[in-house]
Amino acid sequence: MASNPVREWTGLQHFPVATQTALHNLLGKLRAEKVDNLTVLVLGKGGVGKSSTVNSMFGERMAVISTIQSETMRPIICSRSRAGFTLNIIDTPGLIEGGWINDQALEIIRRFLLNRTIDVVLYVDRLDGYRVDNLDKQVMKAIGQSFGPQIWRITLLVLTHAQLSPPDGVTYLEYVEKRSAALQTAIRQVSGFQKAVSQVVLVENSGRCNTNAGGEKILPDGKVWLPHLFESIVEVATGENQSLVIDKKLIEGPNANQRGKIWIPLLLVTQFFLVVRPILKAIQKDIQLEKQNRPGWEIRAEQYAKSASARRARKKFMADEEY
Ligand SMILES: Nc1nc2c(ncn2[C@@H]2O[C@H](COP(=O)(O)OP(=O)(O)OP(=O)(O)O)[C@@H](O)[C@H]2O)c(=O)[nH]1
Ligand SMILES: [Mg+2]
C-alpha cells in the first residue's frame, strides 16, 4: 500500500522571520549531518499541553486540543517536510485517567510505536505544577517499563505554561530551577540514570504569550522559546545517545515461552529443601512421638499378638516334624 506523500511544512512560513531563519539554520545543520528526517515522541499526563506544543512547533493546528478533557485515546503522527527534510511528531493521549495510570492508553501507544524509531522524546509537564507526587513518579516509571529506561537518555523535559508570575519572594529563574530540579530528580530516581533528562525547555503555547520586537514569543526571562526548543531537539538527535528502536522484543519482552525457564530447576530444588523435606521430617517425628506415647494396653496387646503368632508358628513346625 503506497503511503501518502508528506505535506509541505507551510506553517513554517507563518513564523516570525527571525524564527524562520533560526529553523533554516538548524535544517542546514541536520543536512550537514546527513539527517533527512526526525521522529519526536510527545508523552506526559493528560491536559499538560502536549497537543498544543505539537501545534506550536508546526505553526498550524494539526493535533486536537481539548479545553476540558480529551476523549481521544489514539496517538497521531503529524508529518511535514521542508527542503528535503521531514519532521514527524507523534502526539499521544494523556497517561493518567481518573487518578490512575491509563494502562489502556499506554498499551495503544506501545502498539502504535511498533517498528518505529524515536529520535527524541518530549516529556511534557506544566511549569506551574506545585509538586512532584506519587502519580508523577508512577507515570515516569510506567514510561521506563514500557519502553526501557534508556528512553530517558533521549528525553527533553518540556515545561508548558511558562509565562507565569512566580510566588512572592521567588524569582522566575529560581522557580524554574526548583520545578525542573524536582522533576529531573524524580526521573533520575525512577530511571536509575544519573544523566537522564539533563535538558529542560520552557514553552508557552498561549496566544497571549509576550512577544519581542520581531514578533517572536518570549518568556519572562527574555528567551525566545520556539527556536530554543528546536535547537534542543536537534542537539539530542545529533548527540551521542542512540535513537530508540521500538521493535517486537521491546514491546513484548524476551520470548514469552523461554522467559524464566532457566529458574525451574532452581525452583524445584528450593521447593524440595524448603517445603517437601520439612514436611517429611515432621511426619517422621509424629510417627516417632506416637510410638513413644502409646498406652500400656496397646503395647501389651502387640506383645501378646507377637508371642501368640510365635507360639502358632512353633506348633505348626512341631506338627510338621511329627508328620
Ligand atoms: N496558558 C497556557 N495554556 C496552555 C498551554 N498549553 C496548553 N494549554 C491549554 O491547556 C489545555 C490542554 O491542552 P492540550 O494541548 O490539549 O493538552 P494535552 O496534554 O494534549 O491533553 P490530552 O491530550 O488530554 O492529554 C488547553 O486548553 C490548552 O489551550 C500553555 O503553554 N499555556
Ligand atoms: Mg492532546
- The pairing of beta strand 76-82 with beta strand 85-91: antiparallel
CA dihedral 309, 312, 316, 318 (to 10 degrees): 110
C-alpha cell at 226: 520556539
Q: In degrees, to the nearest 5, what angle opens at C-alpha 215 toward C-alphas 212 and 217?
A: 65
From the alpha carbon of 204, which atom of ligand 1 is closest?
A: 31
Per-residue pLDDT of the chain (323 residues; tens, 9 = 90+): 456 789 999 999 999 999 999 999 999 999 999 999 999 999 999 999 999 999 999 999 988 776 655 656 789 999 999 989 999 999 999 998 778 888 888 999 999 999 999 999 999 999 999 899 999 999 999 999 999 999 999 999 999 999 999 999 999 999 999 999 999 999 999 988 887 777 999 999 999 999 999 999 999 999 999 999 999 999 999 999 999 999 988 877 765 455 566 667 777 887 878 887 888 888 888 878 877 777 777 777 778 778 877 788 777 777 776 65
Do residues 227 and 218 make contact, with C-beta atoms less than 8 angstroms apart?
no
Please give, one letter per residue, the 3-state secondary structure of the chain. Answer: CCCCCCCECHHHHHCCHHHHHHHHHHHHHHHHCCCCEEEEEEEECCCCCHHHHHHHHHCCCCCCCCCCCCCCCCCEEEEEEECCEEEEEEECCCCEECCEECHHHHHHHHHHHCCEEECEEEEEEECCCCCCCHHHHHHHHHHHHHHCHHHHHHEEEEEECCCCCCCCCCCHHHHHHHHHHHHHHHHHHHHCCCCCCCCEEECCCCCCCCECCCCCEECCCCCEHHHHHHHHHHHHHCCCCCCEEECHHHHHCCCCCCCCHHHHHHHHHHHHHHHHHHHHHHHHHHHHHHHHCCCHHHHHHHHHHHHHHHHHHHHHHHHHHHC
- CA–centroid distance, residue 191 to ligand 1 (Å): 26
Atom 29 of ligand 1, nearest CA residue: 67
From the alpha carbon of 72, which atom of ligand 1 is closest?
A: 23
**Cα end-to-end span (Å), the chain:** 105
Residue whose C-alpha is closest to residue 154's, from 58, 246, 236: 236
State the pTM of this model: 0.80
Q: Can you give the pLDDT at residue 302?
A: 75
Point out the ligand nearest to the CA of residue 69.
1
- CA–centroid distance, residue 67 to ligand 1 (Å): 7
Point out the ligand nearest to the CA of residue 139.
1
Burial classification of residue 87, based on how many CB atoms lie within 10 Å of its CB (0-12 exposed, 13-18 middle, 19 or more buried): buried
Point out the ligand nearest to the CA of residue 204.
1
Q: Can you give the pLDDT at residue 249?
A: 85
Atom 21 of ligand 1, nearest CA residue: 47
- CA–centroid distance, residue 286 to ligand 2 (Å): 68
List, chain by chain if needed, residues with CB within 6 Å of any ligand 1 atom.
46-52, 65-67, 70, 93-94, 160-161, 203-206
Cα gap 9→78, rounded to integer Å: 11
CA 261 to chain centre: 26
Do residues 188 and 196 make contact, with C-beta atoms less than 8 angstroms apart?
yes
Cα gap 31→303, rounded to integer Å: 103
- CA–centroid distance, residue 294 to ligand 2 (Å): 79
Residue whose C-alpha is closest to residue 20's, from 203, 236, 230, 210: 230
Q: Can you give the pLDDT at residue 312?
A: 80
Residues in Cβ contact with 233 at an 8 Å cutoff, skipping those fewer than 6 apart: 38, 40, 120, 122, 156
Residue whose C-alpha is closest to residue 249's, from 144, 90, 115: 115
* pLDDT tens, residue by residue, 231-277: 999 999 999 999 999 998 887 776 545 556 666 777 788 787 888 78
Cα gap 301→124, rounded to integer Å: 86
- CA–centroid distance, residue 250 to ligand 1 (Å): 30
C-alpha cell at 258: 523461554
